[in-house]
Structure 1
Amino acid sequence: MTDYSTLKDLINIDSPSGYTHDACDYIVNTLVAEGLAPEITVKGAVRCSLGEKPKLAIAAHVDTLGAIVSGVNQDGTLMFSPIGGLSLTGAEGEYVRIRTLEGKIFTGTILLNDPSSHTNNGREATARTLKSMHVRLDEEVSSKSDVESLGICIGDIICLYPNYEELPSGFIKSRFMDNKAGCFVLFELAKHLKGQDVPVEIFFSNYEEVGHGGACGYSEGIEELLVIDMGVLGDACEGIETACSICVKDSTGPYDYKMRKTLVELARKNSISYKQDVYPFYGSDGSAARNAGNDFRVGLIGPGVASSHSSERTHKKGVEATIELCLAYIAQL
């Protein structure tokens, strides 16, 4: 039975884009414990070869959505600016941690302005925008100067509570399954493949949610990039939480036809549950890698994840199908 403790640990480490060092340190320590020799790139990503002269890179991103303090209101609440595609409706009412440059941690809640139903009977019709929302601090503050005296200032990182829960049914619900579930797949690949000298490197990017995570940092000689990221669920897609999604095309264009054909054939041959899909509003580390002009083929797969960029959920069957498909792909290199 697969142990998901590293997934839980990683999800519980705050890592919005631009603040991923703690999560990357955890990744390094986890891989070192497996007897591997990871390295941190100049940009802060983690790269780890599983054999000499890797030709295939398998990538997932450790960075998540979040926010950053963009100002302090006169009443002592905080203005904020999203990091990545944070859903404001999905973030409303969520508990957060505010991390300062000095290492202090404060807590708060993302709320609509004048949020009480007993004072604002128009709250349900109010558009959720950055101007109509704020972060309420769990401190006795009622002015801008009160907040500044705590040491909170513009640029401090706002991290949402993940609320991880692993259920007997096999479902795992939590924020940031996009894409720490993908990072967990890489952990499992490292466990399965250590000592086998396969021409593969695993790559944990740290700026995917803002569009440039997978643009660079791979080893020389890479010919293919297989990205592990969340499979999209919704009315426009066939993906399900219990299967591995194989992306045909996203907002940035089609993925490599030869890689996709091989992935589909391997899934069929090995009875791995899969779905093929076009993602209508999506980009990945593969998109960044292609846009940066890297001369290698790119494919994209991942476990189906419901309610993306909000209160997400996947299933162990989908995660394990993704692991199995990666292992099958590596075996045919």
Structure 2
Amino acid sequence: MTRLTIDSEYLMDTLERLFEIPSPTGYTDTIVRFVSSEIETLGLPVEMTRRGAIRAIRPGKTERGARAIVSHVDTLGAQVKGLKDNGRLSLVPIGHWSARFAEGARANVFTEKGGYRGTILPLKASGHTFNDEVDNMPVGWDYVEMRVDALARDKNDLVRLGVDVGDIVAIDPMPEFLDNGFIVSRHLDNKAGVAVMLAALKAMQEKKSKTPVDIHWLFTIAEEVGHGASAILTHDIASMVSVDNGTTAPGQNSDEFGVTIAMADQTGPFDYHLTKKLVELCRENDIRYQKDVFRYYRSDSASAIEAGADARTALITFGVDASHGYERIHMHALRSLAELITAYAASPVMIKRDFEETADRTGFTRQSTRKARQRLSPNVSGQMLKSD
């Protein structure tokens, strides 16, 4: 086995600290500083892009054919669409999430003058006033507004407070860490993935784990709006594994325990050979796993490929119930993911041809096209039937 023991206490503590930092897409400077500082504490130098995507390279035996592991630090949120005559704020979502989960949420709106607390409410929020009309309100961002906890009786009061169109709204995560291992919170997507990566890096640093190639630890800042890893990969990266949430819902095969390995998302199948390798590593290292296909889902891998990166991509996930809502996961999945990352990083390179960006057919991969063998067995009338 090549997997390492994960410090679960560190993983949970790191996740708890990440929850304390608001980081909707477009408002990620503070969490970028935190993650960068944590990586430096673990002993790796950090470099950042202009906008704040993070890269930390852990040297391996060679730079050629480097491997990347990536999570995103940004979360869902909202933005001020307009100042209303009643002193409240109309909103648009940051990322794709339902206003159904926004209703009743506590939040911060960040203005040039500072932050204000507030609550996102349906337009008709008082049962004592609107009676059954409260229950008949449609669901949608046009039917909610933010009540700011300051003297704001009209639009002029909001202007006086410094609130303006475009201000970022960060939704409170409201995390709960239960004794049975369950974690319930908003923004587990993808603060849990960030905590998993840091816990895996900590284990590798403490054990002085050797890797056959450089490992790039990448943290992106705009995955929730589709940009993700579009501008962080370097040309020497041959493979990239994204760490994100899976969806435990009816019709899905994801689970809140073990690793859920994505075989495809809405952009198509993930790399056959890299995904197969991750499955084999789970088997070899006694890591519980299951496979799933996501129809309405994209990740950092998709943005990297669409931006032109010629790298093999895969997606490993922790099963999340009620994704993009008030989410729930289990520590077993987070620990399993961190273990798989350590096993993958140290595993041998099987496709040496990937050391070059382009090459001839020598060493190119193969996929079997043989038909499965079928055994023939007689039925009661003596005719031969095919059976698997």
Match of 1:125, SS state, is coil
User: 1:205 maps to which residue?
Assistant: 220
Q: Distance in 1 between matches of 2:96 and 2:139?
A: 14
State the distance in 1 between where 2:98 and 2:48 align.
31
Shift of residue 196, structure 1, vs aligned partner: 4.0
- Picking from 332, 342, 348, the partner of 1:317 is 332
Q: Is 1:16–1:63's contact at 8 Å kept on the other side of the alignment?
A: yes
Q: Which residue of 1 aligns with 2:351?
A: none
Native 8 Å contact 1:231 1:305 kept in 2: yes
Q: Which residue is 2:362 aligned to? A: none
**8 Å contact from structure 1 (residues 51, 196) kept in 2:** no
Separation in structure 1 between the aligned mates of residue 133 and residue 279 of structure 2, nearest angstrom: 51
Identity between Structure 1 and Structure 2 (%)? 36
What TM-score does the superposition give when structure 2 sets the normalisation length?
0.83
Q: Counterparts in 2 of 1:6-155, with a 5 A limit?
A: 6-51=14-59, 53=63, 55-102=66-113, 104-120=114-130, 121-155=132-166
Question: What amino acid does structure 2 have at the position aligned with 1:113?
Answer: L
Q: For the residues of structure 2 that align with 1:101 and 1:241, how far apart are their CA atoms?
A: 40
Q: TM-score, normalised by structure 1?
A: 0.97
- Structure 1 counterpart SS, 2:24: coil
* 2:56 maps to amino acid: C
Distance 1:122 1:114 in 2: 7
SS of 1:162's partner is coil
Cα distance in structure 2, aligned partners of 1:278 and 1:159: 30
Whether the 8 Å contact between 2:242 and 2:301 is mirrored in structure 1 is: yes
Task: Classify the secondary structure of the residue corresponding to 1:187.
Answer: helix
Say what the alpha-carbon RMSD is for the aligned residues: 1.3
Aligned partner of 2:247: which letter?
Answer: V
- From 2, 5, 8, the equivalent of 1:2 is 8
**Partners of 1:43 and 1:98 in 2: CA distance:** 21
Contact 1:245–1:276 (CA<8 Å) still a contact in 2? yes
**1:260-287: CA deviation from partner (whole Å, max 9, x where unpaired):** 1111111112111111000121000001
Is contact 1:251-1:283 (8 Å) kept?
yes
Q: Which letter maps to 2:18?
A: L
Assess if the C-alpha contact under 8 Å between 2:186 and 2:326 holds in 1: yes
- Structure 1 stretch 185-194 or stretch 249-258: which is displaced more? 185-194
Q: Over residues 303-333 of structure 1, what are the superposed CA-to-partner deviations in whole Å (9 max), with x where a residue is unaligned?
A: 1111101101111100011111111112213
Match of 1:181 in 2: 192
The within-5 A match list for 1:296-311 is 296-311=311-326
Q: Is 1:232 aligned to residue 240 of structure 2?
A: no
Residue 131 of structure 1 and its aligned partner are, at CA, apart by 2.0
Distance 1:289 1:101 in 2: 33
Give the paired residue count: 332
CA apart distance, 1:119: 2.0
**CA distance in structure 2 between the partners assigned to 1:166 and 1:316 by the alignment:** 9
Report the 3-state secondary structure (helix = DSSP H, G, I; strand = E; otherwise coil) of the residue aligned with 1:323.
helix
Q: Structure 1: 5+ residue runs without aligned partners?
A: none
Contact preservation (8 Å) 1:109, 1:135: yes
Which residue does 1:169 correspond to in 2? 180
Aligned residue identity for 1:115: A
Q: Which amino acid aligns with 1:65?
A: L
CA contact (8 A) 1:63 1:205 kept: yes
What pairs with 1:192-271 in structure 2 (closer than 5 Å)?
192-194=203-205, 195-196=208-209, 198=211, 199-271=214-286
The alpha-carbon deviation at position 214 of structure 1 amounts to 1.0
- Shift of residue 197, structure 1, vs aligned partner: 5.4
Deviation at 1:125, TM superposition (A): 2.2
Larger deviation, residues 66-75 vs 117-126:
117-126
Deviation, structure 1 residue 42 = 2.0
For the 8 Å contact 1:50–1:193, the answer to whether it is kept is no
* Structure with the greater alpha carbon radius of gyration: 2
- What residue is the counterpart of 1:275 in the other structure? 290
> Larger deviation: 142-151 or 44-53?
44-53
Write the distance in 2 (CA, Å) between the matches of 1:12 and 1:253: 35
In 2, distance between residues paired with 1:326 and 1:34? 16
Question: Match of 1:29, SS?
Answer: helix
Instruction: Using the TM superposition, give the Cα deviation of residue 33 of structure 1 relative to its aligned residue in structure 2, in angstroms.
Output: 1.1
**Distance in structure 1 (CA, Å) of the matches to 2:59 and 2:240:** 16
How much has 1:166 moved relative to structure 2? 1.0
- Please give the alpha-carbon distance, in whole angstroms, between the structure 2 residues aligned to 1:20 and 1:48: 18
CA–CA distance in structure 2, aligned partners of residues 51 and 236 of structure 1 = 41
CA contact (8 A) 2:233 2:304 kept: no
Aligned position for 2:342 = 327
> Residue 370 of structure 2 corresponds to which residue in structure 1?
none
Q: Is the 8 A contact 2:56 2:218 kept in 1?
A: yes
Alpha-carbon deviations, 1:185-236, whole Å to 9, x = none? 1101221222445320110000000001111212330000000010111112
